[in-house]
Amino acid sequence: MKKGVRTASIFLVFLLQGCMYPSQQKSENEIPYEDQIQNVQEAVDRFQEDSGGLLPIKTLEEDTPIYQKYLIDFSKIKPRYMDQLPGNAYENGGVFQYLLLDVEEDPTVHIFDLRIAEEIRSLQIKIQANRGIPFESSLGGKYYSINFEKLGYKEDPKVLSPFTNKELPIIADGDGTIYVDYLTDLYQFAQENELPIDSMESDDIREILHEESSFVPAYSPEYEVNEENEITYSSS
């Protein structure tokens, strides 16, 4: 099996597993409470200390995208390190998946919204029925915009950004994997935080989005800074 097809398959399986959260939601289960995130962080820290450095995470495929890779396994920290699960966690009827970043140096708890995954899953089903993605135009690198009209959409589907609350487009790569395009968020964050683009690391700059946020840019492509000091899609 080709690597791109295999990655897309893993991606879809993850979506199908991760999006089946209960259909009836309480409003408080849709809010990213910072105190709940902090409680999970404290539980993870204590677990790591008591276990000699191990982390309470699920085992996923090695090539799982980094912002969906180190999912927290709450069965390892409850009830010893937590009395109850966060109300907004997927495992407790909420819409957020808890995960860790920087697992080697400083394991830090973050979240992503599974409603984004649900939107992508819905699109993936339409693509399978269409027997492929109707690409529209090249965006640079290996990424393309999608002709959603050919998939039966009257309007292009959008995803609400957890960082800016703005609507973000959905794109695809040549292997058929679907992504949320955070390009406008990156530009806005760089401007608001006075981050000169020409001083950014060139390989992948998505970390500027989650450095000051509990969210991660889940289902995102990689971005880089080109020779013209523009943020663009990674060419690798």
Asked whether 95 and 25 are in contact (CB, 8 A), the reply is yes
Contact criterion met (CB below 8 Å) for 125 and 185: no
67-91 exposure pattern, b = at least 16 Cβ within 10 A, e = fewer: bbbbbbbbebbbeebbeebbbbbbb
pLDDT digits (tens, 9 = 90+) for 72-116: 999 999 999 999 999 999 999 999 999 999 999 999 999 999 999
The pLDDT, as a whole number, for residue 84 is 92
Residues in the chain: 236
For residue 134, what pLDDT is reported?
A: 95
Q: Which residues pair with 66 in a beta bridge?
A: none
With pLDDT > 90 as the criterion, what percentage of the chain qualifies? 65
Domain locations in the chain as residue ranges: 3-114, 132-233
Q: For 27-41, 66-80, 120-134, 206-220, which range has the lowest pLDDT when averaged over its residues?
A: 27-41
pTM assigned to the model: 0.84
Burial (CB count within 10 angstroms: exposed 0-12, middle 13-18, buried 19+), residue 112: buried
Buried b / exposed e along 168-199 (16+ C-beta atoms within 10 A): bbbbbbeebbbbbbbbebbebbbeeeeeebee
Q: Note whether 181 and 229 are within 8 A (CB).
A: no
Whose tokens are 């991606």? That residue is: 11
Q: Six-digit token pair at 42?
A: 């404290």
Of 12-21, 83-92, 101-110, 203-212, give the lowest mean pLDDT range: 12-21
Specify the pLDDT at position 5.
38
Residue 173 CA to residue 101 CA, distance in Å, equals: 25
Stretch among 16-25, 131-140, 145-154 having the lowest mean pLDDT: 16-25
- The reported pLDDT for the residue numbered 142 is 92
The reported pLDDT for the residue numbered 15 is 43
pLDDT at residue 155 above 50?
yes
- Give the per-residue pLDDT at 28: 61
Q: How confident is the model at residue 201 (pLDDT cuts 50, 70, 90)?
A: low
Ramachandran sector of residue 200 (left: φ over 0; alpha: ψ -120 to 50; beta: rest)? beta
Residue 86 confidence (pLDDT)? 94
